[in-house]
Structures are given as C-alpha cells and as structure tokens.
Chains A and B, each alone.
Chain A
Amino acid sequence: MINIKINEADHAVEEGRTILEVCRELGIDIPHFCYHPGLSIAGNCRMCLVEIKGMPKLMTACSTVVQDGMEILTDSDTVKEARKGVLEFILLDHPVDCPICDKSGECVLQDYNFDYGISKRRSIFPKERHKVEKISEKIYKNDNRCVLCTRCGRFLNEVTKTHEFTTIERGSHTHIACVDPDGLDKNPFSSNIADLCPVGALGLNEFRFRKRVWLTDHVRAVCQGCEAGCNLTVDLHTRHTPLDPNVGPVVRFSSADNYSMQRYFICDEGRYSYKNYNNMEGRLLNPVLNGNEVNEEEALTFLKEATDSGLTGAVVLSPLVSVEENYAAILFAEEKGYDIFRPSPFRKELPEPALFIEKVKAPNHRMMKLLEIPKVTDMESSDYDVVIVLHNIGSIRDNSLVKILSLLKRVKYSITFETEHTEFSENSKLSLPAPMFLEEDGCYINSGKRIQHSTGSLGYPQGVRPLWKWFFGKRFSGPEGLLKQFAKEKLAIELDYEKLGQEGVEL
C-alpha cells in the first residue's frame, strides 16, 4: 500500500494501479470515453486528464500508475478546462441528435457535457456527415456520433480476437469501418460493442427506436443461460407512456460489470434471451390438480395429504432455479425424510470463440455439485409414494427427463412446480405455478463457485407463489431468510443480500 493525495484528501491505495482505477474504487468520478476495464489502455480520448503536482503537463488518469506521495487533482480549474476543451472538440463534428438517439439518457457524452461542457458552439463550420448503416444483422453504425474511442475495435481485436473493425482514413476523417460484416453476425459476442460504445454510434438494430431508456428501470441480475453466471443489467418496461410501443416487461439485457470476476461482457445468446421472459402465453398461473385448475386451498389440502402421512418420498431439485428455492425443497425433504436428487443439466457445444461461455446450460448447477446431491438417473429404487419435482423442463438431459417422467407416472402423489404447462405438469397429479427468473430475488452459484444475487423486480404474477410459501407458509418472510439459513447450515458462513452486494462472494 502506498499513500497518495487525491483532491487534498489522503488515501492509502494499492500499488501498481492506475489513477483512474484507484479513483473508481474510491468513488471519485473521472470522466472517460476510451478507458474500459476489460480492454487495453488506449489513452486517446484525453477526457481523463488530471493534474499531478510536480508534473508539467496534465496526465491521463487511465494510463498513469499511482506512485507513493503523488498528489492528484481531479477537479481543479485546469482539469475542468481541459475537459471542456475535449468535449468541445468532440462536439465539433457530433450531430447532437439526442432526441432521436437511442443512447440518449445513458450516453456519457451527454452526461459529461452537462457536467463540464460548453453550451454554445463556437465553430461556424459545417459538420462532416456520414450515412447511418446497418453493418450486420445485429448492429447499426452511425459514424456521425462516433467519438473514436476505439473501444469497439479493441474489443473485437483483444477479447474475441475476430478483428471485424478497423479505423480507416486519417485525421478528422478517421472513422470506424467494419471489414467483416458476416464475421460480426457469426461472432457470438459482437453485440457487446453496442454496450461498449459510450455514445450512440453503435447500437442494436432490434433496440433502435424502440424505447427511451429513461422510461425503463434498471436492475441487476444473473444470466440464466449457462453456469458462467454473467451479470446482467435488465431494463424493465415499468413506466408506460401512451406513445410507447407495446413491448413486454423486459426491454433488453445488457452486460453489467463485475470487477471481482473481471467480467464485463455477455454473450449474444444471453443478451437476446430476454425475449423468453416476455412470453406469458402458456404460463401456469393457477394450481392444476388432476387436470383441473383449482384454488390455493385445494392445492394445499392435496399437498398436506401427500406429505403429512409419513409416506416415502423423493425431491428432484433443479439447476435452473435459485439457491433459495432449491434450499426450500431440501429443507422440506429433510424435515419429511425424503430422498433428494438432481437431474443432469443439458450441455451444449461451445461456440467459437467461447471465452467464458460454459457447456452446462443451467445457472445453478454448481449448487447441486457443491452439496453432492446424487443424480436422479442413479436412483437405485423408485419405490416412492411422493415425488416432488422442481421446475426443470427445457434444460435437462433426456435420460433425466425420462427418469423423472417415469417417476411421476408411477407414484401416488406426484407434485411438480412449473412455470408453464409442460410434460411434467401434464403427467403429475398436482402442478403448482412457480415464479420465473426476475419475479423473485434469488442467488445462483456459478461455475467459479461464486454466489451471486439476482434481483427480482417484476414481482409474482397473480396466482403464483414461491415454493417456500407452499411448503412453509409464513415461516419465511422472504427468500433472504432462506439464503441466510442455507449459508449457515450448508456452508457454515454468514451470508445475506447485503453481503453479496452486486458482485457476489466466492465460496
């Protein structure tokens, strides 16, 4: 640790880090366009210039490493003047078409200009104009808005190593060119460049003119696509206006930075999976008993009848649902003396490049392995009277599926938790409506043994109750209680949502 001064205040900071990183951790905002934690340092936007006492020139915070005794000023008049200068230069050729720009509202150029910029244009010269082009099925490019931070190009060169972009021409004619549109469509990560773009120069075709971002709520969630556990920013359509098109509750997924995991990007499969959560058709919203929709009391009566009579039972957990839901099932099974099994999750060949994408297509598979739960296919005898199966369909392998189906068909009391009408719900006596991802807070343990909290923000739909409410009634006030108990009983640590924070905890 070394001692430095930032804006006259003393700080002890880690050695070998750049001023910008140090300031970010201390919560001191240094504006920047080209810096990105997941990419190499370009130092070309010159927005992050800071004053260092004893240095003749302003230094770029993104590339200057802190040294013992350094005195840094991030808000001196010189620094503010430099920011103003850079913003004025950028806006010389920028169309300032915020009213029709999809980035508007989350554009850093917009924010910085409000904070540091000038309000009057001093240049009398016309702006250079470029055509807006759809460069691939996924991405459009608007060179007029580009600030040439080269984040997009660096991402494609350094992270995916697919090199679809390059800068061409020189001087003020410089612009980004896509040299391989097909490659961009095949690249399983290419849509990240729309997130990376600090302005509205690159965007997703499917999001274009679709939604003003300030009419959405942003929540942080964990991607359900595989066991990598990438962090998502979920934009929810919660503030309806008369002019809004009729879009579902989930507007889009974008990547959320996780500095602890050093992961800042998501795959396109995960990104476009938001559509799955907008489909309410076929959703199971009421308990179904012997093929008929029933009310809660009837369902509960059946559940009690099945589980209170001391019969033998088995619970099949799910790598799809959260730690809390699974733990509720485990707790219930332990209280009733039931056996616990897990299905084998579906695996998929990895795309090229795969980066952090995992083969196992279930977000919470690691929890099953952590608790050493036996596979349902390894079940020795199927002599059970009660079988409870958690919401599983769509992500388990065929042998597990067949095994579970045969169990459901054979036993006297078969109970499934499902989000929609599926083979499982049709083949069970009682199927109970389960909440989906985003409807309930939940934690997931990823392949790297990191437990992360995913925010439920939509709330339970009418008729849907979480699993722990069916099992335990009012014993738990919310999923957090289950997490606390799970951590204590199974992991012998203290955990709650606050401790998990945004980036989770490695187990």
Chain B
Amino acid sequence: MSEYVLFKHLIDPEVRELDHYTQLGGYEGLKKALKMEPVAVVEEVKKSNLRGRGGAGFPTGLKWSFMPKDDRQKYFVCNADEGEPGTFKDRYIMSENPHQLIEGMVIGGFAMGATVGYIYIRGEFKFIADEFQKAVDKAYEAGYLGKNILGSGFDFDLYLHLGAGAYICGEETGLIQSLEGHTGKPRLKPPFPAQVGVFGQPTTVNNVETIACVPDIIRKGAGWFLTIGPDRNNGTKIYGVSGHVNNPGVFELPMGTSLREIIFEHAGGILDGKKVKAIIPGGSSAPVLGPEHLDIAMDFDSLKEAGSMLGSGAIIVMHEDTCIVEAFARLAEFYAHESCGQCTPCREGTPWMARIIRNIENGDGREGDIELLYDICTKIIGRTVCPLGDAAVFCIKGALDRFRDEFEYHIQHKKCLVENKVAIYG
C-alpha cells in the first residue's frame, strides 16, 4: 500500500479536526512556505511536476507562474464544482480532510500574491460545505487564515461559494461568471483568467485535489513528490470507480496504477464475474476504452497515447450486459441538458446528437445516422466558446469509434445487440 497524500483520514479518521491534522504534520508546509520567497514556492511546485487534477492535466506550477507580479488584487479560486459524470473524489477531501485544502489554498495564495480565496462548491454539496465552513472557522481561530498569518504579515481570506447546479460552472470561466453572480456562461478566451478573472482581476483556478497536493509538496519537498508515480505524471491520484464493479468507491493510488489493478484489486472486480465491455477512464468526457486497455497505466500521458484522457480519474465500468447505445444516449442527453446555450454549435449540436442517439436506441434509427453523427461532431469540435462542446464530442465520438457495430445493429435490426441488458437509470 502506497502512502496517503490526500486521504489522510485513512491514517487518522479524525483528521478533519485541526489538532489531529497538525499531529500528522499539518500546516507545517504553510509555515515552511511563509518563510520562503513566493517565487520559490512556485518553483517548488513546478519542480514537483504537479499537474492539474481537474481534467486537463496542465502543469500547476506553470499555471501559477502566469499570474502577473503587480500590485493588483489577485484571487485564488478552488474549483470544487465536481460536475463531471462519474466523479466523486473532491467531496471526500473536503469532508474528511478539509484542512489540507485550506492549507493548500493559503500556500497558493501566498505564492501568487492573492489575498482572497474562493472555494466554489457545487450546490448539491451544501452538507459538505457546512462542515467545511466549520474547518475554515477553526483555521481562522488558529491563525492559519485571516490577517497576518502566523506572524508573516501575509493576509488571506477564504470564502465558500455554493453553485446552483450547473455542469458548465466547472469550466473555469463559467465558474468565475457564476462566482461573480452572473449566469454561468463561459467567457471568451483570451483574455485568460490569469489576466482578467474574478471581478476583472488576475485569478487562478485549480481543482481541489491539485490544491490539496501542495502542502505535502512544500513540507516534504518536490523531490519526495517525484518519487511517486511515473516520470512527468508524479504524485498520487484519487481514482473514483463506479458502474458494474463489486466495490465501487474512491481509491488514492500512485499515478500510473494499471486499470486492471484499480478495477480488480481495489474495486473488487466486475459484478457477477461478467466480462468488461467498456471503461470510461476519466469522467464521461474521456473517450471510452475497451477491455484490451485493462493493462494501461492510469496517468496523463499513457491515456493520451491510447486516445483517451485521465480527466478527473473517474472510472466508469460497464460490463457485457450494457447497451452502449443506451448508455451513450443518456450521456449525450446530459451534455445537451448542461449546454449553457451561449454558442451555436454546442447549443444546437448537442441536443441534435442526443436526439439522434435516443432515436437509434428506440429503434427509430435511419441509415446514415452514424455518418450524420460524425459530421455533427466535426462541426462542433474546436468551434465552441468553451470545452463543453469538445467534451460531448469526445464522449460520443469515442463510443461511435469503438462500438460502431452496436449502433449499426440497432439501426438495422431495430433492437439491441445485448440480450438481458441491464437497466440504465436516467
């Protein structure tokens, strides 16, 4: 068993309490960071090869270094929207190990010169937010937040903001819009948030898991972080396994653990001993993989090579009794439902695709529908304001590429290829 970087509650179940957290070395990273130069903190994070855990895998240190070094008010925003279907990792950090996220926020704020931090939590997590707020209050009491933190002269205020239930608010500019009180519609980039972000000020948005990695990196040094996981994909990763497995759940494992190990050792194997049919490796937006990919190392670069992506590390497993058309009709409807309606290709294209796939699933598919779906995909991808359109295309095109035969069977025979198919709940 590897060491736990994020899930410290597996070492000490009471780590959500401040004193338990400090016993495990909590806030030592902050103390160390406050004695360093901000630039040195950014350098340390750069050296650690920490990459964004929200989906894109962008190097965190590099992202932090984009923040201008002037006197403007800057903001550090934590993306705790966790909307990607299949993803349920950040909530455990926030509910079980909240101080690590708070510590990461303060260190990040210090490194970038941001004195205000926002944690944007999805509205459904109100109960977690309430608990998290208690941890924030404790941190204020103990002097880890607020004015003149630990006598360093650095001020940092942390606010929680609840979203209102939109997938699109997990996209950083959509999140910023929502945080400001507007409807969550992504902004045009450029300008990027590092130039014009929250309230027009320089802003960095990072995922919960990313930020929670930072305290240990600073405390133990980038060198320690580099010892975990394969080169350029260092650290541990929280994999959330759902779908047709015996033991669905979240598992913190070193980056690059094989899919087989995650599914069969940690998630208890496939339900009823059935065969694996499809695996979505990184949240619904990652192109679907097949059983031949079971031995793939679950890290950013390996999955990219395989034509998919690590995304948020949310693994959705589907066994042989799953109707792929039905599953992806459901997912396509998700994207259509969550499209913000701002730009034309996504607003009009995603519902069209969803309707076509639902039609195929219902046995009303027509010859040429698959070609039409492909054509719609090319007309959406890369032409939208934000990556939601791309995500929908990755999802649907991935399924079409891999399971085209099943779609064709549906169209030709007006029924499902799978007998005794399992229900998919909409």
Query: Taking beta carbons and an 8 Å cutoff, which residues of A are in contact with B?
Result: 41-47, 49, 56-58, 60, 63, 81-82, 85-86, 88-90, 92-93, 122-125, 147-148, 167, 169-174
The answer to whether residues A44 and B342 also contact, given A124-B366, A172-B348 and a CB cut-off of 8 A, is: yes
B307 at the binding interface (Cβ < 8 Å): no
Neighbour of A125 across the interface among B339, B352, B383, B385, CB < 8 A: B352
In the complex, how many angstroms separate the beta carbon of B338 from the nearest chain A beta carbon?
Answer: 7
Q: Do A85 and B383 have beta carbons less than 8 Å apart?
A: yes
Contact B344 A57 (CB under 8 A): no
Indicate which residue in B166, B183, B336 contacts A172 across the interface (CB closer than 8 Å). B336
* B379 on interface, CB distance cutoff 8 Å: yes
Between-chain CB contacts (< 8 Å), 12 pairs: A41-B188, A43-B188, A46-B345, A47-B344, A89-B348, A122-B372, A125-B355, A167-B341, A170-B339, A171-B336, A171-B340, A172-B351
Q: Is the CB of A167 within 8 A of B336?
A: no
What separation, in Å, do the CA atoms of A253 and B336 have in the docked complex?
41
1/0 per residue, CB under 8 A from A, across B357-374: the answer is 001000000100000100
Highest count of chain B CB atoms <10 Å: which of A57, A123, A125, A172:
A172
Q: Are B352 and A167 in contact (CB under 8 A)?
A: no
Give the docked Cα–Cα distance between A100 and B327 (Å): 43
Set B166, B349, B366, B383: member contacting A58, Cβ < 8 A: B383
Contact of B343 (CB < 8 Å), options: A41, A46, A58, A125: A46
Give CA–CA (A297, B310) in the complex, Å.
94
What separation, in Å, do the CA atoms of A93 and B351 have in the docked complex? 11
Query: Which of B183, B188, B344 contacts A63, CB < 8 Å?
Result: B188
**Residues on B facing A (Cβ under 8 Å):** 166, 183, 188, 336-345, 347-352, 355, 359, 366, 372, 378-380, 382-385
Contact check: which of A41, A60, A172 meets B347 at CB < 8 Å? Answer: A172
Question: How far is B252's CA from A395's CA once the two chains are assembled, in angstroms?
Answer: 81
Complex Cα gap A174–B337 (Å) = 11
- Distance in angstroms between the alpha carbons of A273 and B139 in the assembled complex: 67
Q: Which of B183, B343, B372, B384 has the most CB of A within 10 A?
A: B343
Q: Which of B343, B349, B380, B382 makes the CB contact (< 8 A) with A45?
A: B343
**Are the C-beta atoms of B344 and A170 separated by less than 8 Å?**
no
CB neighbours of B383 from chain A (8 A):
46, 49, 57-58, 82, 85-86
CA distance A47 to B384 in the complex (A): 11
**Complex interface: chain A residues within 8 A of B351 (CB):** 171-172
B341, B372, B382: the one within 8 Å of A171 (CB): B341
Q: How far is the CB of A170 from chain B (nearest CB, A)?
A: 5
Q: Contact at A88–B382, with CB atoms within 8 Å?
A: no
Whether B350 pairs with A171 at a CB distance below 8 angstroms is: yes
With contacts A44-B343, A82-B379 taken as known, whether A171 is within 8 angstroms of B338 at the C-beta atoms is yes
Tell me how far the C-beta of B109 lies from the nearest C-beta in chain A, rounded to whole angstroms. 31
Q: For residue A122, which residue of chain B has the nearest CB? A: B372
Q: Which of B338, B340, B348, B366 contacts A92 (CB 8 A)?
A: B348
Name the contact of B340 in the complex, choosing from A57, A125, A170 (C-beta under 8 A): A170
Apart from A92-B352, A171-B347, what are 17 other A-B pairs with CB-CB below 8 Å?
A: A45-B344, A46-B385, A56-B382, A57-B382, A57-B383, A60-B188, A82-B383, A85-B378, A86-B344, A86-B383, A89-B347, A167-B183, A167-B341, A171-B339, A171-B351, A172-B339, A172-B341
Q: Provide the residues of chain A in CB contact with B359, threshold 8 Å.
A: 124
Of the residues B341, B348, B385, contact of A43 by C-beta under 8 Å: B385
In the complex the two chains form, what is the Cα distance from A167 to B184 in whole Å? 12
Docked complex Cα distance between A295 and B178 (Å):
75
Closest to A47 in B: B344
Instruction: Tell me the nearest residue of chain A to B337, going by C-beta.
Output: A171
Chain A residues near B352 (CB, 8 Å)?
A: 89, 92, 123, 125
Min CB distance B40 to A, Å, is: 34
The distance in angstroms between the C-alpha atoms of A63 and B189, with both chains bound, is 9
Given contacts A57-B383, A58-B383, A170-B340, contact A93 B188 (CB under 8 A): no
Residues in B with CB closer than 8 Å to A63 are 188
Pick from A81, A92, A148: contact of B341, CB under 8 Å: A148
CB < 8 Å: which of B337, B340, B344, B385 contacts A89?
B344
The residues of A that contact B341 with a CB separation of less than 8 Å are 148, 167, 169-174
Q: B329 CB to closest chain A CB, in angstroms?
A: 14
A44 touches B344 (CB 8 A): yes
CB distance from B22 to the nearest CB of A (A): 44
Shortest Cβ distance from residue A271 to the other chain B in the assembled complex, whole angstroms: 30
- Chain B: minimal CB distance from A157 (Å): 11
Chain A residues whose CB sits within 8 angstroms of the CB of B339 once the complex forms: 170-172
